[in-house]
């Protein structure tokens, strides 16, 4: 195939000749490569290539199926290593770090699939990253969101230049997989977590294409832990981020280490805000397991050949860096695991915020105008890509802990009524727990009663979310047989707290899995409540005086008949003492 000089220039250092064994070379090129990186193939190409790589390099590649999608398509991964360690057990015994690189979590953003196949072929041919697969195991998932990939048509991404056709952002069940890491509703995420639990990757690389404005920068490389999770392990995350940025900068890219979305929508002068994603996202989730996560976001307004080249270079860089530094980073992760076992009774950050502290940075943009739109009525930004311009804009990148909660001294107790649901979720994440085989009376626990519970006004990712205000208080409770004990002394202690602390941003409570506990079910008819109120005030003059003061001092209460009657209903024997009681307990002593 004849390629234009322009295409060759765009691909730059990416070798495109086929140096694999002659009998296998035709099978290992992609539709994308053969089209000059204008198109991308359908999923049947992934199925064929996965098998073809394994046939062409039987001592270096295995093709595995790790799940099935709701539309019954195979979820495939290529296990690539020249070490012979093709199982999790063999990799662990050999002390090899595992690098998991995934494409197509948002299947319209498909650069990672084509870049990953090309990079893998060149590594196996010995042309790039020589020896890297001797020192690690690569798990390459070309497409995570397989069903979404097959919702295939033009303009699924109207603010993205190429390929000609592409897949869809969400799954066949309309789940956004990059909001599903903790709640793990989708079969696809459940399969991915099972793969992760088996292989325990040191580094998880999530390949995307960003949305947003038009500017010259071509990619952002974000890694956690850098601001979050174990403070000492952040040094490994920072090293990975900085080394990859340095590598691809030498190859002509202009990366940034923050997500390049304006602080105020569509306003370049508002600048940028760095931060930490919540655990529903890949980069927020894996640091809670004491593992590194990298988000590669190529810029949607760069053309497809350019984006594939940059993604390819990033993949090669990650593999080279893990080959060079993986042993040290493995030790850092193991040390973080050990420290996590000691978190009991110490403050643990469950969310983070970016302060208002700013610094001015030079950002490579284009000339633009902002004028009122006759369509929307708002200011519309128009960019002139023929006129590069350096923007002097603010960057907020000081990130600090926001919600901090002291870890329980022993762990959490989940009563039997909720044990099955919680056990399933804990198992999905590989979290240790045990079931109690006998009832316990009068256990000294901490309970959380919500002073205020607010349900989300709309559905989000198929859930009605819940936020609560309140705090933990000591209270003896009886615990029935079949309850769960979830110790905090385990490597995934931060993930345990992220799931079970009620005010954590992606806790099981926040995702609405305990909504029933915050919904009143029993009630007292108003005419009965009227009599109960009078009886209580007659029997207790102090209560009558308290009610009178409340009516006189609280206008909202005074105008709310329901609240006035509830004042007395709460003091009646029929009041449900479990209402607004979070059905998970904390304990200082392991039962």
Strand partners, 475: 445
- Is residue 298 classed as helix, strand or coil in its secondary structure? strand
> In angstroms, how far is CA 229 from the centroid of its own chain?
14
Positive or negative torsion for Cα 556, 560, 563, 569: positive
- Residue 71 per-residue DSSP state: T
DSSP conformation class of 67: E
Q: Which CATH number fits domain 19-262+285-338: 3.40.630.10, 3.40.50.1820, 3.40.50.280, 3.40.50.170?
A: 3.40.630.10
Tokens 């003091």 sit on residue:
571
Tokens 């048509």 appear where?
A: 153
Local confidence pLDDT in tens for the 591 residues of the chain:
333 333 434 444 444 333 344 444 558 999 999 999 999 999 999 999 999 999 999 999 999 999 999 999 999 999 999 999 999 999 999 999 999 999 999 999 999 999 999 999 999 999 999 999 999 999 999 999 999 999 999 999 999 999 999 999 999 999 999 999 999 999 999 999 999 999 999 999 999 999 889 999 999 999 999 999 999 999 999 999 999 999 999 999 999 999 999 999 999 999 999 999 999 999 999 999 999 999 999 999 999 999 999 999 999 999 999 999 999 999 999 999 999 999 999 999 999 999 999 999 999 999 999 999 999 999 999 999 999 999 999 999 999 999 999 999 999 999 999 999 999 999 999 999 999 999 999 999 999 999 999 999 999 999 999 999 999 999 999 999 999 999 999 999 999 999 999 999 999 999 999 999 999 998 889 999 999 999 999 999 999 999 999 999 999 999 999 999 989 989 999 888 899 999 999 999 999
110, 37 Cβ separation under 8 angstroms: no
67: burial class by Cβ within 10 Å (0-12, 13-18, 19+)?
A: buried
Beta bridge partners of 62: 79
Beta strands in 216-375 (DSSP E): 219-224, 255-256, 272-273, 292-299, 347-349, 352-354, 359-372
201 φ, ψ (degrees, to nearest 5) = -65, 135
d(CA 504, CA 70) in angstroms, rounded, equals 30
Contact by Cβ (8 Å): 498, 506: yes
Any bridge partners for residue 51, and if so which? none
For residue 300, the tally of other CB atoms under 10 A from its CB is 22
Within 10 angstroms of residue 486's Cβ, the number of other Cβ atoms is 24
pTM assigned to the model: 0.93
Confidence (pLDDT) at 1: 34
Does a cis peptide bond (omega within 30 degrees of 0) precede residue 163? Answer: yes
As beta bridge partners, residue 477 has 443
Closest by CA to 123, choosing from 132, 110, 113, 136, is 132
Strand partners, 64: 77
Task: Please list the residue range(s) of the chain that carry CATH number 3.40.630.10.
Answer: 19-262+285-338
Residues 6 or more apart from 525 whose CB is under 8 A from it? none
R_g of the chain computed on alpha carbons: 28
Bond preceding residue 498 cis, omega within 30 of 0 = no
Q: Say how far residue 462 (Cα) sits from the centre of its chain.
A: 17
Judging by DSSP bridges, how do beta strands 379-396 and 440-455 pair with one another?
A: unpaired
Structure tokens at 431: 């979290």
């Amino acid at each position: 195939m004849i390629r234009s000089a322009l295409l060759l220039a765009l691909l730059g250092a990416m070798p495109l000749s086929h140096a694999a064994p002659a009998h296998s070379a035709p099978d290992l090129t992609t539709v994308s490569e053969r089209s000059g990186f204008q198109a991308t193939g359908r999923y049947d190409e992934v199925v064929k290539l996965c098998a073809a790589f394994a046939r062409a390099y039987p001592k270096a590649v295995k093709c595995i199926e790790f799940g099935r999608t709701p539309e019954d398509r195979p979820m495939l991964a290529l296990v690539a290593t020249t070490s012979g360690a093709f199982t999790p057990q063999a990799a662990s015994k050999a002390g090899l770090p595992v690098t998991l690189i995934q494409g197509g979590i948002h299947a319209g953003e498909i650069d990672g699939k084509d870049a990953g196949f090309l990079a893998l072929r060149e590594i196996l041919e010995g042309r790039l990253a020589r020896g890297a697969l001797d020192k690690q195991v690569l798990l390459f998932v070309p497409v995570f969101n397989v069903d979404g990939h097959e919702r295939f048509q033009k303009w699924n991404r109207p603010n993205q230049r190429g390929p000609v056709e592409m897949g869809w952002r969400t799954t066949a069940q309309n789940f956004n997989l990059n909001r599903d890491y903790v709640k793990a509703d989708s079969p696809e995420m459940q399969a991915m977590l099972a793969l992760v639990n088996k292989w325990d990757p040191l580094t998880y690389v999530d390949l995307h294409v960003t949305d947003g404005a038009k500017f010259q920068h071509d990619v952002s490389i974000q890694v956690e832990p850098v601001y979050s999770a174990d403070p000492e392990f952040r040094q490994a995350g920072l090293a990975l981020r900085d080394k990859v940025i340095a590598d691809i900068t030498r190859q002509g890219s202009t990366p940034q280490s923050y997500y390049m979305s304006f602080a105020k929508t569509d306003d370049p002068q508002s600048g940028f805000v760095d931060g930490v994603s919540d655990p529903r996202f890949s980069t927020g989730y894996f640091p809670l397991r004491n593992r590194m996560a990298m988000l590669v976001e190529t810029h949607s307004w760069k053309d497809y050949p350019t984006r594939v080249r940059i993604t390819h270079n990033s993949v090669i860089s990650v593999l080279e860096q893990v080959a060079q530094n993986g042993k040290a980073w493995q030790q850092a992760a193991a040390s973080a695991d050990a420290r996590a076992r000691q978190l009991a009774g110490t403050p643990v950050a469950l969310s983070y915020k970016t302060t208002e502290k700013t610094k001015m940075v030079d950002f490579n943009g284009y000339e633009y105008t902002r004028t009122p739109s006759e369509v929307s009525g708002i200011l519309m930004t128009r960019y002139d890509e023929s006129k590069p311009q350096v923007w002097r804009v603010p960057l907020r990148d000081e990130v600090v802990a926001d919600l901090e909660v002291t870890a329980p001294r022993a762990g959490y107790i989940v009563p039997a009524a909720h044990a099955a649901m919680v056990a399933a979720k804990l198992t999905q994440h590989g979290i240790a727990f045990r079931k109690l085989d006998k009832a316990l009376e009068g256990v000294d626990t901490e309970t959380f009663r919500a002073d205020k519970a607010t349900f989300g006004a709309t559905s989000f990712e198929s859930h009605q979310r819940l936020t609560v205000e309140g705090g933990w208080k000591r209270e003896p409770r009886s615990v029935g047989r079949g309850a769960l004990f979830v110790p905090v002394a385990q490597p995934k202690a931060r993930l345990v707290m992220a799931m079970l602390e009620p005010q954590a941003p992606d806790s099981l409570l926040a995702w609405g899995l305990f909504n029933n506990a915050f919904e009143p079910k029993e009630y007292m008819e108003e005419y009965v409540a009227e009599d109960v109120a009078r009886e209580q005030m007659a029997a207790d003059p102090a209560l009558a005086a308290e009610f009178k003061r409340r009516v006189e001092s609280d206008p909202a209460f005074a105008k709310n008949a329901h609240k006035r009657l509830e004042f007395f209903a709460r003091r009646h024997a029929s009041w449900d003492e479990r209402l607004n009681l979070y059905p998970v307990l904390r304990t200082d002593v392991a039962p």
